[in-house]
Structure 1
Amino acid sequence: MRRILSFILVSVMSIGTIFNTAQATEYPLPPEGSRLIGENIIYKIPDDSTMDLETIAAKYKVGFYAMLQANPGIDAWLPKPGSEIIIPHQMLLPDTKREGIVVNLTEMRLFYFPKGQNKVIVYPIGIGLQGIDTPLMTTSISQKIPNPTWTPTPSIRKRYAAQGVTLPAVWPAGPDNPMGEFALRLAYGSGTYLIHGTNADFGIGLRVSSGCIRLRPDDIKALFGKVAKGERVQIISEAIKVSVEPDGRRYVEVHEPLSKREGEDTKTLPIPLNQSVKAFSTHPNTDTALFEEQYKRRSGLPTQVGRL
């Protein structure tokens, strides 16, 4: 089964406001009118390092592609010893209700707002493959499933059969199960979409699933223990987030949009601007040149674009 799964998957100075890099990244909620949380970490690759970018990303609870966006030109498989890279731990909260689970597909992050607690917990995620997109929705958790089995849908079985892989009718619970040890079923459609774990070492922060939302094993275990059946879940897709902070600083955070067709270059693919982003970009206090520069760079990092 390990072979089938592999086919399926085809020393630090911290300036961040986080509680523990070995656990999920938790941030105090910003004050009213603010959306900016956290600070980035500068990580120096040790001289004797043989770590790849995924190993570093997993250590600091960020997604693989978020690391690539923040560090253009980096060798993902063997980062140059002695070089410094950015761990993207600063971000803007999505412009939506701060309740339950909010998933922003474009940035491949899940935000959890524990009820009655003045904090947000952020998890990197894997999402649906191109053409098997994770749908936008506002729903709730309908079922909490420890030790889930996996019943591949007919379309999934057909897709893998075309690649020479015969999936079992039901994949039993256990260490080889691609859904991991915990799953949260969403009350959307016929209930086929879940937030679940994985037994793989790669794929978080990438488009890897058949439409479900995938977390690293420790992250789904932690989230599973915190959320309750019936909690709100909202899935959005915002490639551009903006914020005018209470002190007047103006930030934009731009991610590469999700491609819809094979061959699309997400570095140059047009990103539609909603009304609030348009108003932000054309405001007299926004430096238009800086805004355009960030629109083109698409680093996934909040950047100040206000006029000095």
Structure 2
Amino acid sequence: MKTRSLFAFPVLLSVISGIANATTYTLPENSNDTVITQFHDEVPLTRAEQNETLLDVARRFLLGQMEIVRLNSDADRWNIKKNEIVRLANRRILPDTPHEGITLNIAEYRMYYYPPAQKGVAPQVMSYAHGIGRQDWKTPLGKTSVVQKVKDPSWHPPESIRREHAANGDPLPAVVPPGPHNPLGAYMLHLGVPGGYLIHGTDIDKIYGIGMQITHGCMRMYPEDIEALYNSVPVGTPVYMVKQPIKVGWLDNTLYIEAHPDLEGEETTPAEKLEVALKLIQKAGAAQSMPEFDQNALKQALTVLDGNPVALYKRLPQQTAPVSSPAGRGSKGGYYHGV
């Protein structure tokens, strides 16, 4: 990103040099609000510690590769100079699912884990970057659960994957033992989905593929993230696998929209994206109360598609949006996939 372009943002605050807890968010006090915030700075920035790549910065802050590339579209992902300013992710809109267990929103290469409530502790959500299935090995959608947990798993590559690797001149053994080059990493969560879909770690050679459409359908995570999830999630935890590239949500009486690009092999037109966005805005209770929301901001969000939540409308504090979705905190209700 060219440094001068940063001044286009309305707020430019302190540069963030480190991160203590990259994935833990406190849920908003208002249970109807669904926008979570990591940093106080509206536009959090960091300086490159040395000549490096955007992937190195993403790794340091536990962000996905496509996520940081989209936020820094003017940057050369392979050539970030020492002290160059890099933009980080900050706000996120929670997917429209029950706030329990794990939600995998494959459209944004990111999962959300809602730990059980603890007395005296504010409700939290943990969010982690992960890789998803390629165009020809799509990650499935629907509700399932964690049915098994394995530490230091061996990998038994399916025959279909062995044939693919053999055709590419990279034959696989029948069993890959635990170790740094095991594609499953050190921890694995087995999901109750036909076909053997997993949430797992990664081998050291593929660690920069986190946050990309690159797997055979499983969800691949950074080593420290899968370790934390493995140690937190019991067998039986519900898992919601959804595809919501466009999300809307309230925070402090401001309505935000967050939009992500289509996955590889999928294509929706600008008109289709706009239709989805307007339906979500209406569902958020805004159709009657905000006839003059920021149309330019909506158009920009649906054009740039960088995953950064954009403010559309600010209501008076005494107004309250109706609860129109069953996906409120602790809800057991249904959900929808978006586009």
**Secondary structure, counterpart of 1:305 in structure 2:** strand
Shift of 1:270: 5.5
Match of 2:302 among 275, 287, 295: 295
Root-mean-square deviation over aligned CA pairs: 2.4
Alignment of 1:264-275 (within 5 A): 271=273, 273=276
- Structure 1 residues 179, 14: CA separation in 2 closer, same or farther (over 3 Å shift)? same
Look up the match of 1:66: 67
Q: Deviations over 1:222-249 (max 9, x none)?
A: 110000000011111111111133x431
Shift of 1:45: 2.9
Letter in 2 for 1:44: R
Match of 2:191 among 183, 186, 193: 186
The answer to whether the 8 A contact 2:153-2:187 is kept is yes
- For the residues of structure 2 that align with 1:142 and 1:275, how far apart are their CA atoms? 38
Shift of 1:273: 1.0
- TM-score by length of structure 2 reads 0.78
Matched, 1:56 2:22: no
- Stretches of structure 1 that go unaligned for 5 or more consecutive residues are 1-11
**Secondary structure, counterpart of 1:244 in structure 2:** strand
**Secondary structure, counterpart of 1:225 in structure 2:** helix
Shift of 1:260: 1.7
Match of 2:217 among 208, 211, 215: 211
- For the residues of structure 2 that align with 1:219 and 1:97, how far apart are their CA atoms? 22
The answer to whether the 8 A contact 1:256-1:267 is kept is no
Q: Deviations over 1:171-220 (max 9, x none)?
A: 11222211101000001124x10000001331011111100000011111
- Structure 1 residues 156, 98: CA separation in 2 closer, same or farther (over 3 Å shift)? same
- For the residues of structure 1 that align with 2:250 and 2:166, how far apart are their CA atoms? 51
- For the residues of structure 1 that align with 2:57 and 2:156, how far apart are their CA atoms? 33
The answer to whether the 8 A contact 2:103-2:111 is kept is yes
Shift of 1:289: 2.1
Shift of 1:293: 1.3
- For the residues of structure 2 that align with 1:269 and 1:128, how far apart are their CA atoms? 27
Matched, 1:14 2:13: no
Percent identity at matched positions? 33
The answer to whether the 8 A contact 2:110-2:130 is kept is yes
Q: Deviations over 1:55-95 (max 9, x none)?
A: 11111111111001111121111124443221103211112
Look up the match of 2:108: 107
The answer to whether the 8 A contact 1:126-1:214 is kept is yes
Alignment of 1:29-108 (within 5 A): 29-30=27-28, 31-38=30-37, 39=39, 40-46=43-49, 49-108=50-109
The answer to whether the 8 A contact 1:285-1:307 is kept is no
Letter in 2 for 1:25: T
Letter in 2 for 1:301: N
Shift of 1:269: 10
**Secondary structure, counterpart of 1:273 in structure 2:** helix
- For the residues of structure 1 that align with 2:32 and 2:297, how far apart are their CA atoms? 23
- For the residues of structure 1 that align with 2:200 and 2:27, how far apart are their CA atoms? 25
- For the residues of structure 2 that align with 1:149 and 1:255, how far apart are their CA atoms? 35
- For the residues of structure 2 that align with 1:269 and 1:130, how far apart are their CA atoms? 23
Runs ≥4 residues deviating over 6 A: 266-269
The answer to whether the 8 A contact 1:24-1:219 is kept is no
Look up the match of 1:201: 207
- TM-score by length of structure 1 reads 0.85
Look up the match of 1:222: 228
- For the residues of structure 2 that align with 1:109 and 1:307, how far apart are their CA atoms? 27
